């Protein structure tokens, strides 16, 4: 014990230098990891700009592409018009993966990493606000209540420099209530002079029936599929990329 005490005392004399060395090693390890992953997975250097735009060509999901035989890359382009993108489509058609890979590319760009895309240009983003399916359990709140808190925080803190993700918001309650909540949330962003970039996935196609404000700020997309009557197979064939709709 006496020897250990002397050793600890001796080490503590150099604790400041040891801490600096450890922090430096941590930073080098992180940078080398980012560089290695970028080289192995063919990532490209993103371009950050002061303009409020998002332009991604052939973007991919950093994890999903590693566990499937073939990943279908997608483009994303959000300019002044069409800031609110509403994406509909059947289950398992790729809606959630699409909006999440956009958020991951934005996040990686802002921490100094290369990104899984052919090209990526984006404006500086202050916050990424998510209202997506919750995977954690709590004894105090239901899943729907957690979704409400997430959306409430999004509405309070979103600015023109924010990226907002809404994934199936409103499905955890009565259909009529869910339609109203989702429609009201979207309509909150539309009148803003300079709204955030908003990506919305939903099955609640009823919101297209006169629930939303008419505005050029809303862009409609649907995940492409080939229906059974269009080819020989008896099931729907998912193409895993969105088509932009000119109207709702």
Is the pLDDT at 140 greater than 80? The verdict is: no
| Mean residue pLDDT across the chain | 88
Q: What digits encode the pLDDT tens for the residues 182-223?
A: 999 999 999 998 999 999 999 888 888 888 989 989 999 998
DSSP state of 193: S
Tokens describing residue 67: 């566990």
User: Residue 222 contacts by C-beta under 8 Å, 6 or more apart in sequence?
Assistant: 87, 88, 89, 242, 243, 245
User: Residue 90 contacts by C-beta under 8 Å, 6 or more apart in sequence?
Assistant: 223, 225, 236, 238
Q: In the chain, what are the domain boundaries?
A: 1-40, 44-245
* CATH number given to 44-245: 3.40.50.300
Q: What digits encode the pLDDT tens for the residues 63-80?
A: 999 998 889 999 999 988
Rounded-to-integer distance, Cα 95 and Cα 201, Å: 6
Answering whether pTM is above 0.85, one says yes
Tokens describing residue 203: 């099955």
The torsion angle over the Cα atoms of residues 50, 44, 104 and 180, rounded to 10 degrees, is: 60
DSSP H or E segment with residue 240: strand 237-245
């Amino acid at each position: 014990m006496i020897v250990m005490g002397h050793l600890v005392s001796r080490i503590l004399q150099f604790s400041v230098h040891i801490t600096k060395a450890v922090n430096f090693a941590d930073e080098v390890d992180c940078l080398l990891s980012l560089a290695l992953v970028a080289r192995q997975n063919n990532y490209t250097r993103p371009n950050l700009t002061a303009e409020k735009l998002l332009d991604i060509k052939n973007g991919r999901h950093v994890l999903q592409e590693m566990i499937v035989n073939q990943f279908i890359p997608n483009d994303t382009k959000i300019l002044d018009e069409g800031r609110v993108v509403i994406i509909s489509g059947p289950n398992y058609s790729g809606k959630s993966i699409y909006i999440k890979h956009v958020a991951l590319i934005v996040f990686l760009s802002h921490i100094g990493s290369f990104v899984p895309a052919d090209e990526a240009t984006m404006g500086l983003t202050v916050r990424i606000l998510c209202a997506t399916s919750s995977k954690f359990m709590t004894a105090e709140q239901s899943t729907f209540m957690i979704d409400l808190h997430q959306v409430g925080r999004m509405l309070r803190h979103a600015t023109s420099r924010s990226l907002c993700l809404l994934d199936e918001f409103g499905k955890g309650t009565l259909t009529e209530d869910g339609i109203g909540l989702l429609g009201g949330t979207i309509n909150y962003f539309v009148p803003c002079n300079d709204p955030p970039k908003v990506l919305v996935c939903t099955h609640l196609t009823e919101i297209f029936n006169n629930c939303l404000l008419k505005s050029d700020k809303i862009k409609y997309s649907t995940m492409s599929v080939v229906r059974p009557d269009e080819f020989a197979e008896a099931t729907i064939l998912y193409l895993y990329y969105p088509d932009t709709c000119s109207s709702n």
